[in-house]
Chain A
Amino acid sequence: MSTAPLTGPDALRWFNEPKLDWAAIGFRCGLEIHQQLDTRKLFSLVPSRVVEPDEVGPLTIGAVERRLRATGGESGEVDDAARAEAAKGLRFRYLAIAGLTSLVELDEEPPLAMSQDALDVTLTLAGLAKARPVEEVHVMRKTVIDGSNTGGFQRTALVATGGAFEVEGGDVGVWTIAVEEDSARKLDEQSKDGVVTYTLDRLGIPLIEVATAPDIRDPAHAQRTAARIGALLRATGRVKRGLGTIRQDLNVSVAVGERVEIKGCQDLRAVARVIEAECRRQLWMHHVRTTLVARGADGVAGPSTDVTAAFAHTQAKSIQAAPKGTVVLGVKLPKFAGLLKGASKDAPRLGRELADHAKTAAGVKGILHSDELPAYGITDAEVTAVRKALACGQDDAFALCVEVPATARRALAAVAARAKQAVGPALKEVRAAQPDDSTRFTRPMPGAARMYPETDVPPIRVTGERWRHVLQSLPAKPEEKMAQLVARHKVSQDIAKQLVGDGLDHAFTGLVSAGADASLAARMLLQLLPALKHPDRVEPRLPEVAAAVKAGRFAKEAVEAILVVLDAEPVLSLDAATAKAGAGSSDAAAVDAVCARVVAGRLSFVREKGLAAQGPLMGPVMAELRGKADGSLIAERLRAAIEKAMA
């Protein structure tokens, strides 16, 4: 797809336009969806579970500290992204989590055979998307040396290509469907003394990765596509649910931009907003580029220069309070004046790009630049002194870094490198979605050199027989499942939609066959469970609860209280939880006794009102019997007691 290039003024005009014309700006977008599977880990025998933050301490049974080196690519060259990570010289501390970490995750044992369950779920999704499986699945090592994989690579295998997702607004083609290992989980965002800590519970959990063709026409279409793919994944019945179990990466560009991969967009509802914000950022950067070129800027920054003297008497806290050995280094950015700031406060701006490059390269908190000064306690006079020290003219900008000299130099070298890129072609990069829907630079786009064969795992044949079996046993699509739920269990369209949408239809039918009626099953899954602190821990107990209700061990009114007890104390038996919740069955005789006592105590009222007293008397009766007997039984016995009293 080619679109006429936009001029700088065009880009600026579109940037300012409240409503973007997606075709006119050459919008291109594809998605990469990553979904955790509910099987064992992909290459080891431990189960797939991510522990709660408060479990990390008690469940940590050991830790190792490692380094990762950048290694050669296929022809000996080292990938840009890998080199950038290695340059940071970080050490990584890995916490082994009891029961969820084996020697495979510790990179102390070769991988075991791939989970055939995980491969089957992946093939099932391929079947639902009408994709074509490869005849032989080859496992690859994708070099990743940010520490998120103990081996320094992620194992990944392409399973199927082609096919399409049916989405309102136009079908979206499938490029690839792969199965791969999830990464280790960073415990803290920041490194401490050059050490980054990860937990190994998540490492190795199978992920399906679906990459779509760039057939997406606008951000709303992107959102619908993501929702559709998510629904089909859940239709397999073998995927994890809950926050962090599905992640969508967005590949976005406009005609004057380059493909940017946006990671970390966990919230489906934010997809459209993040995409639009990124398009506007690319338009703005094009405006900056063309303006710089028009000014005759070559993007070459001046030498990094010590300007600490300009701040000899400063009141700026960031400089004053800096530890000993800190200096203020500056670089001149010729002809960049006015182009580092954005059109408004939270708008995209080059200054933030420079700062993010400095942060990732040198680990600094940030930089200061001339477009935002004087501010932060830095005075006009100090700015003038810096300008003089750096020989800045009217059109020139500068950037400062307050740090120890080596770090400051590294940060400003990154600033200079990014400034140089500002006059060149748009950048292919990986960016991270932010809570405010903007994106921030993470690293350069990794090249294809990142992958080489995983020689410890033999290729896996996808036989014609296996594929036929997958196709014959494809699960119903979401719309079919909803229709089935409505027809079979008489639930409302709304409930059916919610159950299928959340991937809870299997659990629902499971509860119904365990003995729950449809409304109790739906209430447990859609209302009671989400209100708990640890729904994952309690969910496996629901069939037992349903069966107990059916057996009359307690009334359905008691379910909520019992689940709350189980949530707090997962080791309790159901009987113990029932007792603790103050629930438990009362037989008809016991109900009769309570009803008789309540009626006897209000005899004159009963005589006066007759059967109309039943409503008002339900209150005191229920106060004693809630959870111990079924509500309809109580109503029936109370009515009998009133009739008896009137006779």
Chain B
Amino acid sequence: MSEAAPGDRIRLTTHDGARFEGVLMPRHSFSGADILTLKLDNGYNVGLAAGGAKVEVVETAKPVERRLPQPPTDPRKPTIAILGTGGTIASFVDYRTGGVTPATRPEELAAAAPDLFGFCNIRAEVLLNMFSEDMQPEHWTKIAERAAWHLNNGAKGVVIPHGTDTLSYTAAALAFALQDLSGPVVLVGSQRSSDRPSSDASQNLLAAARVAATSDCGEVVVVMHASSSDDACAIHRATRVRKMHTSRRDAFQSVNVPPLGHVRGDQVVWDQPHRAATKGKTRCDAVWDEEVSMILSYPGLWPDHVEDVVRKATVLVGTGLGHVAHRVLPGVQKVIARGAHVVMASQCINGAVNMNVYSTGRDLLQMGVLPAFDMLPEVAYIKLMWILGHTSDRDEVRRLFLTPLAGEMDAPTDLRAFGVLEAKA
């Protein structure tokens, strides 16, 4: 057909004689196989049939040079590490194709959020570049080790830009793996890609960096938009936060507890007690046993499903206060007899499990099922993986599971966390 390559300026005469001139674009993955995409001088892209078309190259592609200023370093300012893991936050957009590439150098980050350098120095590092749905426990280990290294080597805090799909899983994993933190480890994401003037990326990244650079916090936290407006970011405890909306800016919400604090402009405000940073070394203990599963309970769940799925441990994501159908009980009993650990969390997400109220719950307790109390199901799952990575002693597993390790359970219920209670005089 033609030797024109993407980026070349071409003149195209269609089979029916219409003439177009513009820059040949890379093929859109949903474009027809017989379509050439042209960017016209008025800025529009159009798809034109290649069949029978005459293509003439007017000018071959010129590489686009991107000159970015070097961000300054100032010894008086705190230094934070930014560990890229992928996702739309901290990424560059190729405005030609609309494609997104991660920022790999400090100057690229600076271009995305220039105000970062006003209050801190930045060590930028691209640790991973992946969709967050592909993130596995081995990646949690890599992130945890690198975060600890930076904290132990001069970084005041660590910011981890992350895809939002599994951001809260990584956050919870880091919360169990990192101990005696000498500074904050802040996970941050964005729900609107950074090419958009309306993106939440720069506000979220700035707020995360604020927490990392200026706070005394020694915890793993998540910093994201507090509402649909661009006024504040909320600081969430890593083991208490969950993505509760597919697309909104304020998708991340603390469950059963209020957020730890807020970032408004350059002010970091703590509303709740949080663990303070230690003076010593951050310890990293990121060992996981992956023979753990989660099973959602639902009407129609096959009686033998539990037996089929469970290896060393499982989180039953039960209904209501923590129940499964009676016909599933024998399966549960069998896996426990086999030596597996079974814990019960609730698919209600809000509230705690309490298995003393109904007989099914009492039956489950008698079999040896452990209640996850007010833990989020996926946090219970990660906690089990971490515990089993360290011990297989049955009693020790049970003891550790029922002990709060990283703020993941046993908080007094926050009345404001699930809608407002109607005030009565």
Residues of chain A at the chain B interface (Cβ within 8 Å): 64-76, 82, 91, 103, 106-110, 132, 134-138, 140-143, 145, 150-153, 156-158, 161-162, 175-176, 178, 448-455, 458-459, 461
Contact = CB atoms under 8 A, between A and B. Distances in A.
Interface residues of B, number: 49
Contacts of B195: 71, 141, 452
Contacts of B422: none
A62 to B, nearest CB: 8
Nearest to B228: A64
B229 A71 contact: no
Contact of B95 (A64, A152, A178, A452): A452
A109 B197 CA distance: 15
B28 A176 contact: no
A68 B198 contact: yes
SS of B interface (majority): loop
Interface stretch (B38-46, B284-292, B316-324, B401-409): B38-46
A181 to B, nearest CB: 14
B93 interface: yes
A68 B197 contact: yes
Contacts of B247: 103, 108-110
B399 interface: no
A459 B44 CA distance: 13
B424 interface: no
Closest 4 CB pairs of A and B: A136-B47, A152-B197, A451-B43, A458-B30
Contact of B37 (A66, A103, A136, A452): A136
A72 B46 contact: no
Contact of A138 (B47, B66, B99, B197): B47
B111 interface: yes
Contacts of A65: 229-231
A260 B250 CA distance: 42
Contacts of B197: 68-71, 82, 143, 145, 151-153
Interface string B183-195: 0000000001011
Contacts of A76: 64, 66, 68, 95, 111
Contacts of A107: 192, 196, 198
Interface of B: 16, 18, 20, 28, 30-32, 35, 37, 40-49, 64-66, 68, 93-99, 111, 192, 194-199, 202-203, 227-231, 246-249
B43 A142 contact: yes
A448 B95 contact: no
B383 to A, nearest CB: 32
B248 A135 contact: no
Contact of A136 (B18, B41, B43, B46): B46
Contacts of B16: 132
Given A103-B247, A142-B43, A161-B20, 18 more contacts: A68-B197, A71-B93, A75-B66, A91-B230, A106-B228, A108-B247, A134-B47, A135-B32, A135-B48, A135-B49, A138-B37, A138-B47, A141-B195, A161-B18, A161-B46, A453-B28, A455-B98, A459-B31
Nearest to B25: A453
Contacts of A74: 64, 94-96
B14 to A, nearest CB: 8
B198 A453 contact: no
A108 B249 contact: yes
Contacts of B199: 69, 71
A132 B41 CA distance: 18
Contact of A458 (B28, B68, B99, B249): B28
Contact of B196 (A64, A134, A151): A151
Nearest to B197: A152
A138 B93 CA distance: 18
Contacts of B231: 65
A302 to B, nearest CB: 32
Contacts of B45: 138, 140, 158, 451, 453
Contacts of B18: 132, 161-162
A108 B37 CA distance: 29
A138 B28 contact: yes
Nearest to B193: A455
Given A74-B95, A150-B198, A158 B229 contact: no
B196 to A, nearest CB: 5
Nearest to A72: B95
Contacts of A106: 228
A450 B42 contact: no
Q: Which of B30, B43, B68, B194 has the most CB of A within 10 A?
A: B43
Contact of B44 (A69, A135, A158, A461): A158
B47 A137 contact: yes
Contacts of B20: 161
A459 B196 contact: no
20 contacts: A66-B229, A71-B93, A71-B199, A72-B111, A73-B95, A103-B248, A108-B228, A108-B249, A109-B246, A136-B35, A136-B48, A150-B198, A151-B196, A152-B196, A161-B20, A176-B42, A450-B43, A453-B45, A459-B30, A459-B47
Contacts of A73: 95
B45 to A, nearest CB: 4
Nearest to A178: B44
A91 to B, nearest CB: 8
A506 B219 CA distance: 67
Nearest to A160: B46
Contacts of B48: 134-136
Contact of B227 (A64, A67, A158, A461): A64
A219 to B, nearest CB: 25
B265 to A, nearest CB: 12
Contacts of A156: 44
Given A138-B44, A153-B197, A453-B28, A67 B230 contact: yes
A479 B394 CA distance: 89
A46 B75 CA distance: 54
Nearest to A144: B197
A399 B99 CA distance: 48
A71 B192 CA distance: 13
Nearest to A109: B247
A454 B97 CA distance: 9
B419 to A, nearest CB: 16
B43 A453 contact: no
Contacts of B64: 74-76
